[in-house]
A and B are shown apart, each in its own frame.
Chain A
Amino acid sequence: MPLVWQEARITAAVPETPRVRRLTLAVGWGKPFRAGQHVDVRLTAPDGHQAQRSYSIASSPTRPETIDLLIERLADGEVSGFFADVAEPGDVIELRGPIGGAFVWDPAEGGPLLLVGGGSGVVPLLSMLRHRAEGAPDVPALLLTSARTPDDVIAREELMRRDAEEPNFQLRLVLTRVPGGRRIDADTVRAALAALGTPAHTFVCGSNPFVSAASDLLVEAGLPARTIRTERFGG
Chain B
Amino acid sequence: MVTRGFTGRRPARPDAERLPPGQYLTEDFPVLQLGPTPKIDLARWRFTLREGAKPLKSWTWTEFEALPRTRWKGDIHCVTKWSKFDTAWEGVTFDDLLAAAGIEAPTAYLLAEGYDDYTTNVPVADLTGAKAMVATRYAGEPIPPDHGGPARLLVPHLYFWKSAKWVKGLRFTQKDEAGFWELHGYHMYGDPWREQRFTGD
* Structural contact, B8 and A78, CB atoms closer than 8 A: yes
A230 near B184 with CB under 8 A, answer no
Interface size, B (range): 35 or more
Pair B31/A212 contact, Cβ less than 8 Å: yes
Asked if residues A91 and B3 are in contact (CB atoms below 8 Å), the reply is yes
Chain B residues in 8 Å Cβ range of A54: 80-81
A28 close to B (CB within 8 Å): no
Can you list, as one digit per residue, whether each of A146-183 has a CB less than 8 Å from chain B (1) or not (0)? 00000000000000000000000000000000000000
- A-B contact count, CB below 8 Å? 112
Q: Is the interface of A mostly helix, strand, loop or mixed?
A: mixed
A52 to B180, CA, bound (A): 24
CB distance from B13 to the nearest CB of A (A): 12
Q: Are B30 and A230 in contact (CB under 8 A)?
A: no
A3 interfacial by beta-carbon distance below 8 Å:
yes
| B37-A216 in contact (CB<8A) | yes
Asked if B43 lies at the interface with its beta carbon under 8 angstroms from chain A, I say no
Point out the residues of chain B lying under 8 angstroms from A218, CB to CB.
Answer: 36
The CA-CA distance from A99 to B197 in the complex, in Å, is 11
Instruction: Name B19-74 residues within 8 Å CB distance of A.
Output: 21-22, 24, 26, 28, 30-39
Residue of B nearest to A77 (CB): B9
A49 & B31 in contact (Cβ 8 Å cutoff):
no
CA distance A74 to B28 in the complex (A): 15
Q: Which of B144-201 contact A (CB under 8 A)?
A: 146, 180, 183-185, 197-201
Q: How far is the CB of A26 from chain B (nearest CB, A)?
A: 16
**Does A232 interact with chain B (Cβ within 8 Å)?**
yes
A212's closest neighbor in chain B, by CB?
B146
Query: How far does the alpha carbon of A209 sit from the alpha carbon of B82 in the complex, in Å?
Result: 17
| Complex Cα spacing A208 to B26, Å | 14
Whether A62 is near chain B, meaning CB under 8 Å from some CB there, is no
**In the complex, residue of chain A having the shortest beta-carbon distance to the beta carbon of B146:** A212
Q: Are B36 and A7 in contact (CB under 8 A)?
A: no
**With A1-B199, A91-B3, A212-B146 given, is the CB distance from A43 to B8 under 8 Å?**
yes
Interface pair A230/B1, CB less than 8 Å apart: no
Complex Cα distance, B32 from A50, in Å, reads 23
| Beta-carbon contact of A230 and B34 below 8 Å | yes
Instruction: Mark the stretch among A65-73, A132-140, A221-229 that contacts chain B.
Output: A221-229
In the bound assembly, the distance between CA atoms of A52 and B7 in angstroms comes to: 13
Whether A45 is near chain B, meaning CB under 8 Å from some CB there, is yes
How many whole Å from B10's CB to the nearest CB in chain A?
5
Q: A7-B1, A44-B2, A91-B3 given as contacts; is B35 within 8 A of A230 (CB)?
A: yes
A85–B185 Cα gap in the complex (Å)? 33
Q: Does B86 contact A (CB under 8 A)?
A: no
Decide yes or no whether A191 CB sits under 8 A from chain B.
no
Q: Is the CB of B81 within 8 A of A53?
A: yes
- Which B residues touch A3, using CB under 8 A? 185, 197-201
| Min C-beta distance of A172 to chain B, whole Å | 20
Q: Which 6 A-B pairs have the closest CB atoms?
A: A2-B200, A101-B184, A215-B36, A86-B5, A43-B3, A43-B6
